[in-house]
Structure 1
Amino acid sequence: MRFLRSAGFRFALLFAVVFIGASALFALVLWYATAGSLDRQTAAALRTDTLGLMERWREGGPGALSEAVAERLSGDVENTAIYLLTGPEGQRLAGNLDRWPAGAEDDGAWITGIVERDGSRVEARIFTRDLGEGYRLAVGRDVEEKQRLRALLAEGFGWSALGAVVFAMAGAAVLRRALENRLRPAAMTARAIAAGDLSRRVPVAGRRDEFDRLGEGMNDMLDRIDRLMEAVRGVSDAIAHDLRTPIARARAKLEEALADSGDPDSLRAAMEQGIADLDHISRVFGALLRIAEAEAGARRAAFAPLDLVPMLADVAEFYGAAAEARGQALSVDLPERLELVGDRDLLAQAAGNLLDNALKFTPEGGQVRLTARAIGRDRVEIAVEDSGPGLSPEDRARAGERFFRADASRATPGSGLGLSLVQAVARQHGGELVLQEASPPPGLRAAMLLGPG
């Protein structure tokens, strides 16, 4: 039963059915072109001969018709012609048929069967016509040779059908075995992965066929799972590392306040510090939740057509005050309209993260520039360029990882989740985050590409 339920068996059965069906269709066409053609040729010859004899009947009556029948019989070299002309009393007036064939009482009747011709029994095909005044004409041909040929063709078709079935079954078995052999590596890899060996991959034969594409797709999926597992482990380590300090600091402050509870100012300062540390922890978890929502596409229901220009102008105005307070210059270059289908809140937060990062790492008197433009029909670019120290190529490659912070930014406040959220939002909108060196250097240009590429 397991064999009958296998996909290989179903594909093999389909192959066998298609092959047998094609063979049967070929046999039918061949039969129609051979045996059927013989029948059609015989029928056409009988009709033509009958029309000629009826013309003689109209010209000269029974006598002329009898002479025409005699002429045809005398000229029948192959001895296959059959004729019978009967009178009003049923008597034979001409022909070589002993008696009127049974079952041929109607005008224009076709008869195929055994008849008596000159004392011998033969298989014949006969066409009859009623000439009027009681006279009747039967015109036929001896079809024994053609019947033997039909029997020979039928026997050949029978053996061919048996061969086709055998070949179909053999081909089905070969097809099933080939399918099993091509799918076995994928199945073995899947079992190994299920057993915990995430390093296994499906071997690809290099034929660029459907099985290779399936293997490549599975390998891409496994690579993605492996990266996600590594990211999960990295996030777990990063959470433990980054949250340990504020939790330990909050606990130490609370213990210190508990030991010195008589001083209201110390107690208040400890409580404020503890609240600040807990707020930082809450922000970290909030950012992680927003990243998870963006990566899972949980907010796709909020997608709607929007004009990015007013939203980006609001974000730039909000961060413009912070830039002015730090002695930085924030410039904006936006088109009149920039339409996109997306989540306005997530896009605003992502743009805010880009500006916040740029302002955070740009020194006093530095320049930060926010730009947006359409690329083609459906793609949009939102870019923030700063004049800060920038990032090395190695750090740019890892900047989208959660909790990643370059060595130069360790002393700067933050959790290392800003660009991770931007990257997740870009991917949710069908795009990506691209980090490049600013032009002119130093500095960083962070571009969020949105829409299908």
Structure 2
Amino acid sequence: MTWLRFLKPSVASAIDWWTARFASFAWRFTVLFTGILLLLISAIIFVLYQLSIGEISRSKQQQLNLIAQQQQLLAGQLQYSEFLQQLSLQAEQSRDWIIAYQDSEEALGDLSRVPSHLQDCPDLSSFLVSQGDDLRVYSGCIVTLAQGTLLVAFDEEDLYFLQQRFINASIVSLLLTIILGGFSGRYLSKQLLKRIKGFNQAAAVVQSGNWSARVPSTGRGDEFDILASNINRMLTQLEHSFQAVSGVTDAIAHDLRTPLGRVRLTLESAIEDAAHHPIKAEALEPLLTEVDNIIHTFSSMLELSRLEHKQARSSFEQVNLNVIAEDAIELLQPVAQDRHQTIDLETTPTLTLLGDRSLIFRALFNTLENASKYAGDGATIQLSLQPTGFIVRDNGPGIPTEFHDKVFQRLYRLESSRTTQGYGLGLPLIRAIAQFHGGDVTVSNLSPGLQVSVTLLQPALT
């Protein structure tokens, strides 16, 4: 069994080659595409065969059975001599058929004797017939009569020739299908891999830390272009989120460094002088205020995150927006009076919204507070209640148009010196509350002044 030692490595190599190729999507797609084409062409060939060669074969068999039944019927109706006479006449007239009869004394028809191995009708058997120097194949069957055996057969040469030509044509068609399927499947898979390669390259660039990478698009608007567009939008959002996180980190470091530094200096001084001057409550109160501000900042950021991710568990109810507006104005009124500001309220009777009362109050109060803080002394603030929310207008300096989107980023401050009190969480929190209720926030300049429109998009009940 020396040949087995050489066969095993060859089989193992063939299996490894097939496994390696089949691991590729292009190879699997080519094999699948070619297999589907082969199945389709094979089904078409089978149908064509049944409609052509098969139909001819069935027609000949039906004619054979009809002739056999006819002769069997005549054998029962005619005298034996008359039956033999008509059988001989029909055998002479039939060119494509062999009709023969053999009894104990003689054989009549196209054959000198009836072959003994043939089956009874309607089952067919093949046999050879010598016609001069030529041998031809016939298919036929026998019918056993009272005094002899009847043979009916037809020539298979023409049908066999048609079958051979049909088989040869089918083999050529299947080979062409394999070649065409292989090239077509390979081409299609290469095109698919080319598009997928663009996705992988963009992913590799993003993994390396370059968030500006985008998946290329062909502009044809196919499924890959739609997928590329969705991925590019996702990458854009991730890039903005990454930039926002970086900005928030820088803002936190900048805004909290000063109060934490003051707390540390005060504690160091208190520790150094503790032996000579005991710490008094008045010295600790500023530290407590600084720590409270820091805790409030982080609490606001946590609340903002919960709202943005729909993690807040609030029970919605019917709330009266007029009452909330009056409460917010009453709470802000002392600050507005110190700044000589006027707050006007435009209401509609019994304006009710479906939502969380505390969150809506906070959104409305924060909007009014921002207007009071940045509109300046002596400004006029107008609050208009709407069926789906509220609008706050002021006649202050407004916000430059190029910063309208940035003011909704966490801890973003328009002034670079960051001397104004606050941490830049007002508008982001207002937007989060509005989106939590199904709405949004927009800002627009009034020249002079700023308009903040808060839409909650909840049905109003009047």
Q: Tell me the TM-score normalized by structure 2.
A: 0.78
Q: Percent of counterpart pairs with the same letter?
A: 24
In the alignment, residue 160 of structure 2 is paired with which amino acid? Q
Q: Is the 2:96–2:154 contact (alpha carbons within 8 Å) kept by the matching residues of 1? A: yes
Instruction: Tell me by how many angstroms 1:147 deviates.
Output: 0.9
In the alignment, residue 99 of structure 1 is paired with which amino acid? V
Residue 123 (structure 1) aligned with residue 131 (structure 2): no
Whole-angstrom distance in 2 between the partners of 1:434 and 1:18: 56
| Counterpart for residue 101 of structure 2 | 85
**Unmatched 5+ residue regions in structure 2?**
1-18, 337-341
User: Pick from 196, 200, 203: which aligns with 1:187?
Assistant: 200
Instruction: Tell me by how many angstroms 1:196 deviates.
Output: 2.5
User: Pick from 214, 239, 246: which aligns with 2:252?
Assistant: 239
In the alignment, residue 420 of structure 1 is paired with which amino acid? P
Whole-angstrom distance in 1 between the partners of 2:159 and 2:419: 104
| Counterpart for residue 64 of structure 2 | 46
Whole-angstrom distance in 2 between the partners of 1:415 and 1:59: 118
In the alignment, residue 97 of structure 2 is paired with which amino acid? A
RMSD: 3.8
In the alignment, residue 369 of structure 1 is paired with which amino acid? S
| Counterpart for residue 45 of structure 2 | 27
Q: Aligned pair in 2 of structure 1 residues 398, 323: CA closer, same or farther (>3 Å)?
A: same
| Counterpart for residue 197 of structure 1 | 210
Q: Is the 2:320–2:353 contact (alpha carbons within 8 Å) kept by the matching residues of 1? A: no
| Counterpart for residue 401 of structure 2 | 393
Q: Is the 1:83–1:138 contact (alpha carbons within 8 Å) kept by the matching residues of 2? A: yes
Whole-angstrom distance in 2 between the partners of 1:170 and 1:39: 38
| Counterpart for residue 25 of structure 2 | 7
Q: Aligned pair in 2 of structure 1 residues 100, 259: CA closer, same or farther (>3 Å)?
A: closer
**Unmatched 5+ residue regions in structure 1?**
374-381
Whole-angstrom distance in 2 between the partners of 1:384 and 1:349: 14
Give the secondary-structure state (helix, strand or coil) at the position aligned to 2:319. Answer: helix
**Quick check: 383-392 or 203-212, which moved more?**
383-392
Whole-angstrom distance in 2 between the partners of 1:244 and 1:418: 21
Q: Is the 1:113–1:124 contact (alpha carbons within 8 Å) kept by the matching residues of 2? A: yes
Instruction: Tell me by how many angstroms 1:281 deviates.
Output: 0.8
Residues 32-181 of structure 1 mapped to structure 2, 5 A cutoff: 32-54=50-72, 56-57=74-75, 59-76=77-94, 79-87=95-103, 92=107, 94=109, 96=111, 98-105=113-120, 108-116=121-129, 122-129=136-143, 133=146, 136-181=149-194
Q: Is the 2:101–2:148 contact (alpha carbons within 8 Å) kept by the matching residues of 1? A: yes
Q: Is the 2:380–2:395 contact (alpha carbons within 8 Å) kept by the matching residues of 1? A: no
Instruction: Number of aligned residue pairs: give it.
Output: 429
Q: Is the 1:358–1:368 contact (alpha carbons within 8 Å) kept by the matching residues of 2? A: no
Q: Aligned pair in 2 of structure 1 residues 328, 348: CA closer, same or farther (>3 Å)?
A: closer
Whole-angstrom distance in 1 between the partners of 2:283 and 2:227: 60
Q: Is the 2:439–2:455 contact (alpha carbons within 8 Å) kept by the matching residues of 1? A: yes
Whole-angstrom distance in 2 between the partners of 1:45 and 1:348: 97
Residue 299 (structure 1) aligned with residue 317 (structure 2): no
Give the secondary-structure state (helix, strand or coil) at the position aligned to 1:399. Answer: helix
Whole-angstrom distance in 2 between the partners of 1:314 and 1:175: 66
Q: Is the 2:100–2:150 contact (alpha carbons within 8 Å) kept by the matching residues of 1? A: yes
Instruction: Tell me by how many angstroms 1:427 deviates.
Output: 4.9
Residue 212 (structure 1) aligned with residue 230 (structure 2): no
Whole-angstrom distance in 1 between the partners of 2:257 and 2:41: 76
